[in-house]
Amino acid sequence: MPEAPAPSSHVLDELGFVMEPIEGDVTRGRAVVAPGLCLPGTGQVRIGVLATYADLVAGFPPEGPVHPTVDLNVRLIRRPEGARTILLEGRTIRSGRTLVVREVLARTDDDPDPFAVSVSTFMARSFDMPDDRGGRWSRAERPMVQPIATRIGARGVAPGVVELDRHPDVVNGAGGTIQGGIVATLAELAAETALADEGRWFVQDLDVRYLRGVRVGPARAEATVVGRHRDEATVRVEILDAGDGGKAVTYGVAVCRPLSAA
């Protein structure tokens, strides 16, 4: 994973994402998929990118933005090979005094059936986070021209170990930590490299629990294969703040399958 070039904008502005106007209790987003957002050599959008889209749609419910993300799960119902435009629809499952639970369904523009489902939990507070749906998310700034791993500056350290510096292009605006969807992408990359000596694998199901923010960095993702069943491998991913005494910041579980699997 080569070093990223000098940053020109926030990574989120290069995901082709647009937030749609709110209609009732439903929030919607739309994203145009560029090659850099897909698994290399395929037209399959990365699950970490889907997690980022879902985090954005879920984080702006009709009643106003919520933050931070407590946990986030994305499951592929089927592989979105060749998707050009992704449509996302979010709804609130439960809104309580302390937690908000949201669901997001993702589908392509030519198929009414969802290809992925995400469920996430947020703290029911906003930290005065601005609701910028009418500004930042009203348009897609620019397409991702590099592989996202390169663009965010992820670097492989060893099999199953990937690091990411806490730099301005990847932090969120509310807490100053690495944005939740980008953390999910880091977990995805680490899970892939843990299986790299067995060929190419992709993550079909990703579950991420956010324990604390990355205060210093780099974020260091360490992936370990913990089990196998038929053509699936279950990989545990622990993300540490290497510059802050190795404190645990994220715990994740990825279910992976060979990329050649039908």
Q: Domain spans of the chain? A: 11-126+147-258
d(CA 73, CA 103) in angstroms, rounded, equals 10
Which CATH number describes the domain made up of 11-126+147-258? Answer: 2.40.160.210
Neighbours of 180 (CB within 10 A): 29
Q: Which of 33-37, 140-144, 234-238, 241-245 has the lowest mean pLDDT?
A: 140-144
Count the residues in the chain: 262
d(CA 28, CA 34) in angstroms, rounded, equals 20
pLDDT, tens digit (0-9, with 9 covering 90-100), for 56-92 = 999 988 888 888 899 999 999 999 888 899 999 999 9
Q: What is the mean pLDDT of residues 172-185?
A: 87
pLDDT, tens digit (0-9, with 9 covering 90-100), for 116-170 = 999 999 998 655 555 555 555 555 557 788 999 999 999 999 999 999 999 999 9
**Which of the pair, 118 or 13, is modelled with greater confidence?**
118
- Residue 6, pLDDT score: 46
Q: What is the mean pLDDT of residues 235-262?
A: 94
- Residue 190, pLDDT score: 98
- Least Cα distance to 168 among 157, 159, 180, 177 occurs for 177
- Residue 4, pLDDT score: 47
CB 236 within 8 A of CB 190: no
- Residue 139, pLDDT score: 54
- Residue 261, pLDDT score: 65
Grouping H, G, I as helix, E, B as strand and the rest as coil, residue 149 is helix
Q: What is the mean pLDDT of residues 210-214?
A: 96
Q: What is the mean pLDDT of the chain?
A: 89
- Residue 60, pLDDT score: 86
Which residues neighbour 80 within 8 Å (Cβ) at sequence distance 6 or greater? 44, 45, 86, 106, 108, 115, 116
Which residues neighbour 67 within 8 Å (Cβ) at sequence distance 6 or greater? 59, 122, 123, 125, 126, 127, 129, 172, 174, 175
- Residue 210, pLDDT score: 97
